[in-house]
Every structure is written in structure tokens, then in C-alpha cells.
Structure 1
Amino acid sequence: MVLSKAINNLIKLIEVFPGQENLNILFIVGLEKSLVEYIRPGYGGKGDYYNLDTIPPILSHLNWQRENFRDRFRHLCFVFILPKYAIKYISLRAPDFFDWGSGKIQIATERDLVEQEVFRLAWLDSGFETYQNWTFQQRLERLAEIHTYLQENLDPNEKFDLYFEQALILSTNGDYEEAIASYDQALKFKPDYHEAWNNRGVALADLGRIEEAIASYDQALKFKPDYHEAWNNRGVALADLGRIEEAIASYNQALKFKPDYHEAWNNRGVALADLGRIEEAIASYNQALKFKPDFHEAWYGRGIALGKLGKMNEAIASYDKALKIKPDFHEIWFNRGIALGKLGKMKEAITSYEKALKIKPDDHEAWFNRGIALGNLGRLEEAIASYDGCDL
């Protein structure tokens, strides 16, 4: 019997399994699919993190219904084929069922199969972009698979590959602490692997540990000085610390190695604008848009910069470009409203603020600015109601 998805009741499935009444042994494969949501295998060599706060429904079912299994299926011997992590979890969370008339047989995994599976997990249908498109359940299942093969006798390259992929999935799930621990494990096997150092820096930055992130980016650049992504990420981290000049220098390094890197051009524009170097910022945004015309963030930043120069019509045109690409970006609608208000186009400004509020109803600044625009039109009752919206 192959279980292709999580279940809560095994007895009912066995009862309707074709021909079970004529069998002596029933092999059951896939029970771990009902467990993975509740298991956090050991990451980064820190031990086994099994979630003991809750118990999967299927294990409650097995614990409480074991006599029913005996009484209804006296003719059957049940053989559950499970990976190691699932066996351990069942022994912890369903000990009565596990100890009740059961035995455990470990089947050695052939070396050729291990190599094939490690290659599949690390190189086929893998990578950060792939994991982003997966469901949370799919990522949990892949983590469980990786954990299973990390228990095998692997060579250092194989261990590195699996720890690295594990870290990518953990980062995708937002489990940044565990991801960092997994990158640390990977780097034990390949201490000069620049991508692991860079990705580790990103995870540290996501936790707000900016100084540590910069140190990690520096390690990436030590091993690969022309690594444009690490230069860009380092620039973002420096900007987060308010070290804007250093950030610009880091973006310049990224662009030295990859002149068409639109993200670095955009980030450089933001940094230049922060220093009040608005004309240079606009030029940098223009470069970003030259290489990626549908980059809404650059259109937005360019609009803000043009607004600071008093070029409201050009700013609005830039905001409109951004909104054509990303119409649900409430901050663009808000800033577009400001620009329209400065041109005296109050009705259009109100419409723009209302677009922002439709997307983000608790944007008190949009409620406030809408109130000002309504007041300028003499619609005082509506203005007061809009000011009241600031308290939402």
C-alpha cells in the first residue's frame, strides 16, 4: 500500500484495500508524509529538533487504535517501510504503538543508490528559485529526504551539497537561524565556497545581524573578488548601517564586474538620493531601467527623485510606469497623490490616495493627506472623516 499524501486514519484505508483479506503481509509505504509537517530534523549538527509540542493525528490514531488493528486484521502482518527520521519520530511520539508487538529491521542503502539520490537532491529539481515555487509541504518533504541521506556514510562533497541545499530550503521557509547553522556545516566541508558565505550573509541580514552579514560577504569576496552579488549585498548591508559612502563604493565594485546589474544600479540610486545627490541618483535609476525596463522599484525611486527636484509631471509619469508594472504597490499611489497635490490636481490626488487605501486601509498618512486634499476642495465633512481614518 502506497500512501501518496498525509492521512489521519489508516484503518479505513486498509479495510477498503483491494484483496487485503487474502494477504498475510501488507507493506505500507509513505507514512512519513503524515509526519513531515510536525518534524524538524536536526539542522547544522545541533542535534535533533523534533516538535514534541503536538502529535500528528495519524500517530494518535495508531496509538489509540492498536487493539482495533489486532482485532480487525488478525490475518495480517504490517510492515511499515520508513526512513530513519520517521522511525525515530514514531518511537518518540507513538511509543505504545512502536513497542506493541513490533520489531525494527534496518536495510542498508546501496552505495550507488545513495550517490544517485544525493545527486538528485542537490542538482536536479533544486535551487533557491525552484524552492520558492514549491509549497511549504513540498519543502518539508524535501528537508526530510535530505535529512535521511545525511545519516548515510557520505563523502565530504556529498555532505556539502546536502547541507547547502538544506540551508537554501530553510531560508526559503524563513528559518534563518537554522539556515545559518546549515551553511556553517556546509562550510566545514568547503570553507572556500563563496556562494555559501554570501547566502549565509543574506540570512544574517534577514535576522538584522548586519555586522555579521558584512563579515560573511567579506569572506565570500575573499574567495571570489569578482562576485558581483556579494558586492551588491554588502552595499545593502552598509546602507542599512547608514554607511552610505561605503555602500556606494560597494555598488560600484558590483557594477565593475557586472555593468548590466540592474539591482546594483537601483541600490546605488537609492544611496545617492540619501546623500542628496539627486541628479546622480536619477542617472543611476536610468541605468537600472536601461537594463531592466520593467523594474518597478527603479521607476518608483526615479519618481521620488524627480519629485525632490520639483519635476512633478515627470515624477507622476515615472510613478505611472511603476504602477503599470505593479498596480498593487500602495506607496507609489501615495507618492503619486502627493505629486498631484503639489500640482493643484486635488481630485486626482484624492483618487490616488484612495487607491493606496484600497490596498492598505491602515495607511494613516494616506488618510491624512486625503483629508488635506478634501479640505482644499472645501469638502470639510469628508475631510474630517478622512482625518478620523488616521486612527485606524
Structure 2
Amino acid sequence: MSIYYDYRDDDSSEGQNIRALISAFERRSPETYFDVDSLDKIAFHYFESGRFEEALSAIDQILSVQPFSAYTWLKRGVLLGNLCRYEDSHQSLEKALSLNPHDSEILLNMGLTLEALGCDDEAVKRFDEAVRLDPLNEDANFHLGCASARLGRIEEAVANLQMCADRNPEHQDVWFELGYCYDILQDFEASLEAYSHQIDLDPYSCETWFNKGVVLTKLGRMEEALRCYDLTLDIDPGFIPGYHNRGNTLALFGRFEEAIECYQEILDRLGDDAQAYCNMALAAAELDELDRSIRLFRKSLSIEPDFAMAWHGLGCCYTELGRHRLAVRAHTKATELSGDNLDFWCCRADAELIAGYKRKAVKSFRKMTELLPDDHRVWMEYASVLSQNGKTREACKAYERAIKLDPECPTAWYQYSELLFMLGKVDLCLDALSKSFELNPEYKKRFRKHCPPEIYNHPRFRERVGIDH
């Protein structure tokens, strides 16, 4: 890691013979004396040459005679950071800060060192202190913005990054970071504008073209997204995510054969890649090449046995082929690997129902209600499978939950009324049935056409719901 700091000494003497000075330093004996200015020039020369150990040796000699120089301790911290000795770097920067607690550059470098140590919260505090001391410091604002974004504090990040961009519109990376933050905030137009600024500054950044393509895909501007991915790969043909996203975008267009060619390019470059085989399998399934799709899913799983999406896709193929028990096994494996994926649980529950595993299906639908407790449709599906298992009272409770979440759903009221009748709760059944007719008159027609005779011919029902023939 290269830690930021401008090491240049503005008052360095013109015409100093640095080579002679370096030669003397490298041939020095214990008795050789160098003044502080000479040692500082020596350290700077080594720093610029990337010889950080030698620079550190010169800085340590300065500190042996000037131990209370905050600026020198700062330089020591920077050098140790470049040597990836982050704990030692932090200690030196702490010493510098104790000598000069109001220096924004010390605080900025402390933040960078804390980032390298994985202490993002502490890093943000130091960057924030630097900005408070020097609100127009573009580097402090930039790093505070980046660190805030990593902590999920996106709006704060945007404010600091925008400050940096306003101060220096040609900053090397600020527009890229702004594009990322606006994407997270789902302000896609602002994200595109930021990425376009970054491209103006660095037209050969494949990462920026790639990210712009991602945002265009989210906006449904697929042709433009494809052009971005093409440019990404023109700049760097080895940028594997570009092939993945180009293939995925082609698949969204329904151009599955072309998508498969993109995924094959990944395999040609990497040899084996579980994600590429999985994506090829998904595209093959869309082409109704189910046997080919199964082979590709199995190949993906041979590389990465715990790839949940591949197990899910395999289960879907087995379902299409009527191999329901194999489908249940595959979907069960997918949910074991990705227990919070609602789609996986939905497919598992459906597969269990079709295979006749009704008790297992009940548990799967119950899990779905835990994952999405505020969706009335999930509760209706759960109620339906409970009813199929003869658990009428539990099914009623599930319908009540669905109705509470969406009182305007006629289907929930209608199906709820059927269960209430089975429980002998005639008045409540009539209330629910009437409500379904009120919300959707088509349910009265359905009632007339499909209602069991014992309900349809019940005089109280006919009177209550207004059926006179």
C-alpha cells in the first residue's frame, strides 16, 4: 500500500549534489556526521526511488537528534506504511499527532493507516477530524467519502466526494466513486453522469466502462450497455467480468446463443469457471436444451460443489423433465447453501408439493413466511398448502394474516370463506364471501359455477349473498 503524503521539502537548496550526498551516506562510518537538512534530502531521494528502508534509516537519524518534530514522525509513519508495517506506522503517526494535534495531514495519514489495519470506523473518525480542521482539503474529503461508502453511509459519502469534485473536477478517482455511490442510491442518471466525467478524464479505464454498462443495464438501456461492455473488453480482453456481464445482457435480450459464446470465451481464457458453466446452463435451459443444461450445471458443480445457483438451476431442469424427486433433492441443497433466498424456497416448496411431500412443503412455505412476513401472497400460498394437508384452522389463521396485510384482496377473502364454512362458522363465512363479491363481482359468478351444492343451496347463503336462482 502506498500511503499518501507529499514528501517534498519546499525550501530544499538548489544545486545540491544529491549523488555525492547519497554516496557519502552509503559509505558512512559511525563517526560520520550529517546535518538534519542533508538527512532530509537523503530520505526524500530514497523515498522517491522506492527505497523505503534506506529512507527510514535517514529519518531515524533525524529523530535521534530532533525527537520532537511532528513533521519527521509523520514522515516515519508514511514510510512504515509503504513498508506495510501498519502497526508501527500507526504508532509513529500517534506520536506525530501528540506533538501537533491540529495537523490535517497527520490525521489524513492516520486514517489511511487505520484503513489498512481494517479499522474503518476509526479511519472515518480521523478523516472527519481532518476535514473539520481543513474543510477544503480535497484528499481528506475524498478519503472520508470512500470510507463512509464502505460503511454504508452513502449520503454522507456523496457529500464529501462532491466537495472533492467541486474543488478539483480533474481528481483522478472522485467521479468513479461518485458513480458507485449514486448507483447504490439508485440515482442512475447521476451515476451515469459521474462515470461519464471519469471517462472524460481516463477514457481507457475498463472498470469505469464496465460500471457504466451495469448502470445502463439497470435502466433497461441494453444496447448502450452492450457497447460499454464491448469497449471494456477492447481495452482489456482479459477483464473476465466484462464477458460475464456481456453474456448476461445478451441473455436478457433473449440472444441466448450469443450469450453462450461469451461464457465460452471465459472458459477458453480460464480453463474452468463454475459461474460461466452455470450461466451457460441457464441460457441452454432457455433454449429448451434441458439435457445440455443439466450437463453444464453438473460441470459447474464439479468445480464448485457448494454453488447454490447451480443446484437451483439443476432442480428447475429436473422439474421441467418431470423428475420431481431429483428436483426436490437439488432444490433442498440450494436452500441449505443459501437459506435466505426466497426464490429457492419457493421452488423447493413447489417441487415438494408436486412430488407428494406435502409435510415438507408445509415447512418450506412456513420458511417463506419468515423470509417475507409482510407479503400477503406468501401467506396465501402457505394457507393453501396447510389446507391441502387438512390443517384447516392453521390455514384460516394464515388467511387472516394475509387479509390483515392486504384487506382489498378478493381471492384471500373468497378462499378464507371456504375454510370458515368447513369449520361450521357460517356467519363469518358469509361475511368473508360477501366481502369477496364486493371487491370483485367476478367471484359471485365463480361461486355460482363452482360452489359445492351443500353451500350453494344453503338458504342463508343464497339470501345473504343475493342469489335468487
Q: TM-score, normalised by structure 1?
A: 0.61
Deviations 1:324-343 (A, max 9, x none): 66789755443232112223
Distance in 2 between residues matched to 1:378 and 1:305, nearest whole Å: 30
1:121 maps to which residue? 77
Deviations 1:95-128 (A, max 9, x none): xxxxxxxxxxxxx964278454432322x3646x
1:310 maps to which residue? 254
Residue 127 of structure 2 is aligned to residue 183 of structure 1: yes
Higher RCO structure (Cα 8 Å, ≥6 apart):
1
Where do residues 173-252 of structure 1 align in structure 2 (5 Å cutoff)?
173-188=117-132, 190-252=134-196
Distance in 1 between residues matched to 2:264 and 2:270, nearest whole Å: 10
Distance in 2 between residues matched to 1:251 and 1:375, nearest whole Å: 43
2:224 maps to which residue? 280
- In the TM superposition, residue 186 of structure 1 has moved relative to its aligned partner by 2.7
Q: Which amino acid counterpart does residue 244 of structure 2 have in structure 1?
A: Y
* Alignment RMSD (CA, Å): 3.0
Residue 388 of structure 2 is aligned to residue 388 of structure 1: no
2:88 maps to which residue? 141
> Among the aligned pairs, what percent are the same residue?
27
Distance in 1 between residues matched to 2:164 and 2:93, nearest whole Å: 25
- In the TM superposition, residue 270 of structure 1 has moved relative to its aligned partner by 0.6
Q: Which amino acid counterpart does residue 224 of structure 2 have in structure 1?
A: E
CA contact (8 A) 1:176 1:207 kept: yes
Distance in 1 between residues matched to 2:224 and 2:144, nearest whole Å: 32
- In structure 1, the gaps of 5 or more residues are 1-107, 132-137
1:94 maps to which residue? none
- In the TM superposition, residue 255 of structure 1 has moved relative to its aligned partner by 1.1
CA contact (8 A) 1:296 1:321 kept: no
Where do residues 39-78 of structure 1 align in structure 2 (5 Å cutoff)?
none
- In the TM superposition, residue 322 of structure 1 has moved relative to its aligned partner by 4.0
Change (3 A) 1:148 1:382: same
CA contact (8 A) 2:161 2:178 kept: yes
Residue 240 of structure 2 is aligned to residue 296 of structure 1: yes
- In the TM superposition, residue 265 of structure 1 has moved relative to its aligned partner by 0.8
Deviations 1:36-58 (A, max 9, x none): xxxxxxxxxxxxxxxxxxxxxxx
SS at match of 2:99: coil
SS at match of 1:293: coil
- In the TM superposition, residue 170 of structure 1 has moved relative to its aligned partner by 2.1
Which structure has the highest helix share of the two? 2
1:373 maps to which residue? 317
Q: Which amino acid counterpart does residue 147 of structure 1 have in structure 2?
A: E
Distance in 1 between residues matched to 2:155 and 2:284, nearest whole Å: 41
- In the TM superposition, residue 233 of structure 1 has moved relative to its aligned partner by 1.1
- 255-264 or 212-221, which deviates more: 255-264
Distance in 2 between residues matched to 1:262 and 1:345, nearest whole Å: 34
Residue 193 of structure 2 is aligned to residue 261 of structure 1: no
SS at match of 1:260: coil
Change (3 A) 1:228 1:150: closer
Change (3 A) 1:149 1:250: same
- In the TM superposition, residue 268 of structure 1 has moved relative to its aligned partner by 0.8
- Which of 267, 291, 294 is the aligned partner of 1:350? 294
Deviations 1:274-324 (A, max 9, x none): 111111001011112222222222221111111112222321232344456
Distance in 1 between residues matched to 2:292 and 2:284, nearest whole Å: 7
CA contact (8 A) 1:297 1:322 kept: no
Change (3 A) 1:359 1:139: farther
Q: TM-score, normalised by structure 2?
A: 0.52
Q: Which amino acid counterpart does residue 118 of structure 1 have in structure 2?
A: L
Change (3 A) 1:304 1:215: same
Deviations 1:247-268 (A, max 9, x none): 1111111112221122221111
Q: Which amino acid counterpart does residue 119 of structure 1 have in structure 2?
A: K
Distance in 1 between residues matched to 2:287 and 2:272, nearest whole Å: 24
Distance in 2 between residues matched to 1:285 and 1:248, nearest whole Å: 14
- In structure 2, the gaps of 5 or more residues are 1-62, 337-469
CA contact (8 A) 2:73 2:93 kept: no
Distance in 2 between residues matched to 1:203 and 1:326, nearest whole Å: 33
Rg larger in structure: 2
